[in-house]
Amino acid sequence: MDTAVTLRVEPLVESRMDDFAAVVNPNRREKHCWCLSHRLSAQEIRERGGDDRYEAMCSLSREEIAPGVTPI
């Protein structure tokens, strides 16, 4: 039985936020972490997204160097 899986790694840009959400928050829980706690302080999260952590992550995806895997 062949169980090989092919993965494609893409940069996190705003247009791919739904793909990112499908991996890190598939149930779209409102207060989900979104991998922000080690990236931003609580104040920075509020400044970027108010009470919306998804929006705070979107703001990071709009930056020139967005979070994620960086090509060498």
Kindly list the domain boundaries of the chain, sorted by start residue. 14-61
| Distance of alpha carbon 1 from alpha carbon 46, whole angstroms | 48
Confidence of residue 29 (pLDDT cuts 50, 70, 90): confident
* Secondary element (H or E) of residue 45: helix 42-49
> Looking at the predicted structure, is the pLDDT value of residue 70 above 90?
no
| Distance of alpha carbon 38 from alpha carbon 11, whole angstroms | 19
Average pLDDT, integer, range 27-39 = 84
- pLDDT, tens digit, 9 for 90 and up, residues 35-65: 788 889 999 999 999 989 999 999 999 998 8
Burial class (CB in 10 A: 0-12, 13-18, 19+), 27: exposed
Q: What is the pLDDT of residue 4?
A: 85
Q: What is the pLDDT of residue 69?
A: 57
Packed helices 17-24 and 53-61: angle between N→C axes, nearest 10 degrees? 130
